[in-house]
Amino acid sequence: MIVRNAIAGIGIYLPDRVMPNMELADMVDTSDVWIKERTGISQRHIAAEGQTTSDLGYRAALAALDDAGLEPSDIDLIVCATSTPDLTFPATATIIQERLGIHHGAAFDLQAVCSGFLYGVNVTDALLKAGGPKRALLIGAETFSRILDWEDRGTCVLFGDGAGAVVIERSDDAESDAPGILHSYIRSDGRYRDMLYVDGGPSQTQTVGHLRMQGNAVFKHAVTEIAQVMRDCAEQAGVPIEDIDWFVPHQANQRILQAVAKKLKIDPDTVISTVAMHANTSSASVPLAMHQAIQDGRIERGDMVMLEAFGGGFTWGAALLRY
Ligand code: UT7
């Protein structure tokens, strides 16, 4: 018997407000040209005043349920990957659970910064395979606009708000070529935690803090580790990289996407990019990009897809699935 967990539905939510690069040029010493040339970003969405991470995650979850043709009552696990929770506790996942009217099963948050969705795929896949829950909502939701230093041009131009969600469903009698998560592989190395961090938190400062990053150093590590984890994940799954139809990367910088594709000799046309429209939405960026490529007809049912991400910690990871 093959147990395989497949993506039954996907949904997203982006706040209405769009902030183009030009608006940032009025706030800090930057320009539309610099941001586009160095990152590929043209605009980002910003949550309205009072709009929280759970608001975005809830709407993405509803859209994913609708896409799967399921009701909230069908879900018995909610995993919310976020580094910008509504509150220190309770978990944003439980707030979303309550708003969905789900009173059974379990809900918890997972914090692996920009790799949160990939960590979520790994953990959700394992929990479903272990035989407890049957259908999970995996949500990546962020309001990074709340932890940016809007006077630091090195970081405030890079991030945006948004949410993406998938319904992951267990199938106990799947065929070997059935849709499903084939393999996932997650990594971290805390030696590099000072290169990308938030300078506040309940225990150390009793404040929320602001995002700090050594951009250039992060860039170099990101390219090396992403390429390696993609190679490792494919090898562990026994699938040659050439057999993968689409690559859905974390959307931090277009130049990172290009450098990784070059390193792995991947056709750049198979790498999904939404960084221009969304900027870096941390744990939401992979489902946002995947949703875009499904909507525009590139990713189709049966395609082999690799997801990957890299973020603070450092954390990183990759997952291979048949959609
Ligand atoms: O999601 C988690 C993972 N995050 C990432 O992967 C982000 C990785 N890092 C990056 O994407 C890039 O390093 C950045 C986009 C952050 C920066 O690009 P860069 O080409 O590495 O630039 P740099 O940091 O080496 O800075 C080059 C110059 C500096 O000026 P000087 O010292 O050469 O005079 C910066 O002060 O660009 C300056 N600069 C800016 N100029 C205009 C930095 N930010 C800006 C800006 N506008 N917004």
Please report the pLDDT score of residue 209 as a whole number: 98
User: What band does 175 get if pLDDT is binned at 50, 70 and 90?
Assistant: confident
Q: Is 80 a catalytic residue?
A: no
What is the edge-to-edge ordering of all strands in the sheet holding 180-188?
Answer: 180-188, 315-322, 304-311, 246-249
The pLDDT tens digits for 264-308 are 999 999 999 999 999 999 999 999 999 999 999 999 999 999 999
Catalytic annotation, pick one of 80, 114, 156, 233: 114
Residue 201 has pLDDT above 90, yes or no: yes
Please report the pLDDT score of residue 128 as a whole number: 96
Angle between helices 254-264 and 215-237 in degrees, nearest 10: 40
CA of 312, closest atom in ligand 1: 2
CA–centroid distance, 25 to ligand 1, in Å, is 15
Is there an atom of ligand 1 within 6 Å of 39 CB?
Answer: yes
DSSP designation for 271: B
Alpha helices in the chain (DSSP H): 21-25, 32-39, 53-68, 92-99, 116-129, 153-156, 215-237, 254-264, 275-278, 285-295
Q: In terms of Cα–Cα distance, which of 182, 114, 103 is closest to 142? A: 114
Please report the pLDDT score of residue 2 as a whole number: 74
Please report the pLDDT score of residue 180 as a whole number: 96
CA–centroid distance, 272 to ligand 1, in Å, is 23
Is there an atom of ligand 1 within 6 Å of 195 CB?
Answer: no
Q: Which residue ranges form the domains of the chain, and what is each CATH number? A: 2-174 (3.40.47.10), 180-322 (3.40.47.10)
pTM of the complete model:
0.98
CA–CA dist 37, 250 (Å, integer): 18
The pLDDT tens digits for 162-174 are 999 999 999 887 7
User: What band does 177 get if pLDDT is binned at 50, 70 and 90?
Assistant: confident
